[in-house]
Structure 1
């Protein structure tokens, strides 16, 4: 990765590695990339610019993929706003998801984690609005779920167990008395 600093790591179903990275002197202008590597560390593909030679990412923060090869990247736009960039295997932008009006009218979309479900959908955890955004494998919103309805505030991290159980880690806002972390086991239906 040198001279880039790694920010996100994801192992694909074909045992390849997707690594997000940016220039070492960030936030100064420079490279922001996702690199696809094989098991020997050979760079097979670099995702950096769109078809108009514009940067794809500001700060590639989290990565997941779906079975059709689409790559989902939580891209940190600022400390207060993130987005999900969906790329095809060829690097073309399929979609950029920035939340929905019903949820993100007053609070901008701020996913902190992203995970692929056993049914090949993608869940983005919007910590600020206590919402799980469920996207299809083309990056379009299928539905959403308010985690505060079941007592989970500030969903921060997501992972599926090998048996298909979803675990949600939560955190509290900086400076809050609820800063403590919890882990919740959730069954999806």
Structure 2
């Protein structure tokens, strides 16, 4: 793994309460010898610029830290949020999407995000996040396990299965990932790594 780009788009209350995740993840990555670029996106414009910068750098992993729900990402300014369709449009430039998209937001691995990327040309191979609302410390614990494992593994489905096995056992079973299936041309959703024989397909509309 070469570089992880982190976009922290938490709101003012989070910064005041010292709950911004980006600097913590950056230090975690440095501890396992992974280069990390941190961008603090205080509004929608800066968020878009940070996504473009990560795409231009052709980073292996893009880590989004902030708030969200099943429809999209909340804006750090507290005004309008960013729907999944608008979020996905940010990746449709001339550069390839990151291999892994880490969504450290509530409902970050939602079916809505998978459907939005399924309709696009540029998409990540893997999307990992939670299927519900999680506490701040749950995400920090999950990503510590994620990056420790990925630092010594190739980025593929099998490696992600092993990561989720640990995360679901230690943190919470709500974490899952969406893996792009070239043959089906859609994302396959893995709710729990131990149930390898069962999976759900995220259908395109």
For normalisation by structure 2, the TM-score amounts to: 0.29
Structure 1 or 2, whichever has the larger Rg, is 1
Bigger RCO (CA 8 Å, 6+ sep): 2
Structure having the higher strand fraction is: 1
Structure having the higher helix fraction is: 2
